[in-house]
Amino acid sequence: MKKILYAISTLALVACLTAGLSVSAVAAPDTDTTYASVRTQGSGLMIEPTLIFEPSSEGDLDGKSYASVVVTPDEEMKVDLGRSRSLRTFYELKIKGQSILVLRIDGTTVQPFLDWLNKTYTVSDLMVISKEISVLEQIYADAKGYLVNTVYDLTDEEIGPDRYGQWENIAAANKAGCNILMYDVQENLPVAAEYISAMSKVCWAEIDSKEEGAQAVAAGCYGIVSSEKSALTDALGYFEKSGFARAQYIAAHRGITKYANEQSLTGVMASYNEGATHVEIDIQITSDGHIVSCHDNDISRVSGLGGRYIINETFANLRKIELNNYSARYGETFATLEEICEVLQQTDVILIAELKLDGGSQKAVDDLKAIEKLKEVMEKYPGMKGHWITITFYAPYAQGMRQHLPEIPCCYLGGGLSGKESAEGVGAWSYAGGHVNSSNMKAKMDFLRKCGIGLDEMEYDNEKKTMSGATNSLAQGYLARGYTMNTWTYEDLTHFAVKTNIATTNTAEDCAMLVKEVAVGEISLTEAELSAKKARVPCRTYNGWTETYECDVIEVSRTGNTAQVIFYYLQKTGDEKTPEYGIYSQLKTVSVA
């Protein structure tokens, strides 16, 4: 089995990394492989947003207060910021080694840009913003012009109150190999920012003032863009206390397993009732093409029956077997993906489906066409549209998702320091071979970008219950380039102390009564409360319960009897290792009496 796995995975990965490349007589372009080190700004935010500066003159550039610099080249690939320079000269004199270069490209400049990138000068640490999805698609389709990421500019779009109204934008971006969506600051910005991050994408906001910056950060945006440098840095000044600008997402690992069998229908239903934002399951395929939920390829651990593999079982025979690894009280069997969809399609829970599917075996990939079967199930449940993320250790499935389901986000289960995904060296991209530590960001970015996938794992030491310090510090650099850091699997509440977007945990039920949203509904303050910077306001827990708690009040602006404020709450968890975490509210407009 392992030999087959390695052969299939290696061939698929090589195909993934080399698809579309052709032999050319054109001389190779000069290449710069410099990667900027992204600095934090010293705020108290656990996940600090990236600062992206769009200068109006070269004199505005000092290389100290922003992670990325946005410029607009003309059709000759020249930049004019008070003086006209070639893009290469501008990059080497003003950007190289200090910030990530981000280019605004449209339909008139996309081909000149690709020619420049492929024939003249290749900058490894490079991103593109465009309002035209066709431009992003063209860039992604170009075999030699891979960037670290692209940005879909949606600043002209009105954001509605329904989070799923943004699904088509996410789907279009994912299909174009784009991880970042950018909006203007507006009333429903928190709706877009929350949903985009829940789907393992990155939301940027374009701001004009520090007040708009505070609004964007409090909305949960992971990047703020401005031509006003002070607006970027000053906005973070409102977030001095340690905490999250938006609640951490909680994914129930294999469903709730404290009082139900893992991956059972009861465990999935309980995840929703306990307030989990996501449910993580593993999917396998039977010998007759049915997709069921189970972590292991064989059924021995969850059933007590040894020597039997799901891929060799018919669906009818598998359904006669009772799960008993956690609790026999419910008398359940292996849940089908259809049954799980029936349960979740009327909820706001996002389903994270790990593509185990017999470990990428030839039988699952080629004979049973596992990804095609997955597509059939997805298409049966239109109510689940916008509720899917897939993750995998296996190259054939990443490739299959790009071919058959390109709109669905697919993420690589490999640590931020992992080098196993490299085509060279120690074998195929697969779980069976483990990971090789490597801090080569270029190799990681090339891999993620070319395979059209996100990053879905920070390295976590289950024995020490800590994050890898090196991986945790790399989180800022990955985030700046459009890759959120998600992780698994926690046995306690230590995820509230790390820089992770989605925390996959075996104790999701322990988060149920912890505060997820601060200052819900309409709120008024007295002059005394505003002066004391303390007020009791309603807060909502993960499972939907609302309770009033005392919060800090951070005043952003005031006009007469109306003020714009951010509330901050310090949640006591009762957990020994992570006894508390902080969380900020959205920017709230309140009346003052």
Summarize pLDDT for 364-392 with one digit per residue, the tens.
Answer: 999 999 999 999 999 999 999 999 999 98
Dihedral, 38, 39, 41, 42 alpha carbons, nearest 10: 130
Question: Among 42-51, 367-376, 426-435, 554-563, where is mean pLDDT lowest?
Answer: 426-435
Segment 208-235 shows an average pLDDT of 96
Instruction: Please name the residues in contact with 399: beta carbons below 8 A apart, sequence gap of 6 or more.
Output: 12, 15, 16, 451
* Average pLDDT value over all residues in the chain: 88
Do residues 523 and 447 share a domain? no
Which of 214, 238, 262 represents a domain boundary (last residue)?
238
In a domain, 11, yes or no: no
Ramachandran area for residue 538 (φ above 0: left; ψ -120 to 50: alpha; else beta)? beta
Res 440: pLDDT:
57
Q: Is the pLDDT of residue 17 over 50?
A: no
Distance between CA 37 and CA 43 in Å, rounded? Answer: 18
Mean pLDDT of the region 474-496: 87
555 found inside a domain: yes
> Which amino acid is present at 555?
E
pLDDT band per the 50, 70, 90 thresholds, residue 39: confident
Tell me whether residue 16 is in a domain.
Answer: no
Strands of 277-336, DSSP E: 278-285, 291-293
Here the CATH number for the domain that contains residue 52 is: 3.20.20.190
pLDDT of residue 1: 32
112 and 162 assigned to the same domain: yes
Per-residue pLDDT, 464: 52
| 579-592 mean pLDDT | 97
At which of 238, 266, 288 does a domain end? 238
Residue 308 scores a pLDDT above 50? yes
Residue 437 has a pLDDT of 37
| 506 inside domain | yes
Phi, psi of 230 (to 5 degrees): -65, -30
Residue type, 377: V
Question: Is the model's pTM score more than 0.75?
Answer: yes
Pick the closest to residue 189 from 589, 544, 587 (CA basis).
587
Mean per-residue pLDDT, 32-61: 92
Tell me, yes or no, whether 435 and 568 share the same domain.
Answer: no
pLDDT at 95: 93
In a domain, 296, yes or no: yes
pLDDT at 227: 96
Asked whether residue 54 falls in the same domain as residue 168, the answer is: yes
pLDDT given at position 449: 81
What pLDDT shows up at residue 502? Answer: 94
**Residue 583 maps to a domain:** yes
Cα–Cα distance for residue pair 428/424, rounded to 1 Å: 9
Both 488 and 431 in one domain: the answer is yes
Together in a domain, 291 and 174: no
What's the pLDDT score for residue 398? 86
Q: State whether 476 and 580 are in the same domain.
A: no
Statement: residue 9 has pLDDT above 50 = no
Please indicate whether residue 399 or residue 195 has the higher confidence score (pLDDT): 195
Same domain (yes/no): 414, 489: yes
The total of structural domains in the chain comes to 3
Instruction: Tell me how crowded residue 84 is: count the other CB atoms within 10 A of its CB.
Output: 12
Whether residue 320 is found in the same domain as residue 436: yes
Alpha carbon distances (Å) from 438 to 6, 444, 471, 538: 21, 9, 11, 46
Beta-bridge mates of residue 592: 525
Residue 143, pLDDT above cutoff 80: no
Give me the domain span that covers residue 441: 249-511
* Domain co-membership, 338 together with 422: yes
Give 445's pLDDT tier (boundaries 50, 70, 90).
confident
Contacts for 490-496 with beta carbons within 8 Å, 24 or more apart?
490/460, 491/462, 491/465, 492/465, 492/575, 492/576, 492/577, 492/578, 493/573, 493/575, 493/577, 493/578, 494/465, 494/466, 494/575, 494/577, 494/578, 495/248, 495/578, 496/248, 496/573, 496/578, 496/581
Last residue of a domain, one of 511, 538, 563: 511
Of 235-249, 372-386, 460-474, 494-508, which range is least confident?
460-474
DSSP string, 221-285: -SEEEES-HHHHHHHGGG--SSBBSSPPEEEEETS--SSS-TT-HHHHHHHHHTT-SEEEEEEEE
Per-residue confidence (pLDDT) for residue 459, from 0 to 100: 58
Is 556 found in the same domain as 462?
A: no
In this structure, are 100 and 185 located in the same domain?
Answer: yes
pLDDT at 197 over 70: yes
Q: Residue 465 falls within a domain, yes or no?
A: yes
558 forms beta bridges with: 563
Local structure of 437: helix, strand or coil: strand
Q: What's the confidence (pLDDT) of residue 458? A: 64
Does the pLDDT at position 334 exceed 50?
yes
Give the least confident one: 154-168, 398-412, 462-476. Answer: 462-476
- 142 contacts 50 by C-beta, under 8 angstroms: no
Percent of the chain at pLDDT exceeding 90: 72
Considering the domain boundaries, does residue 41 fall inside one? no
Q: Is the per-residue pLDDT at 486 higher than 90?
A: no
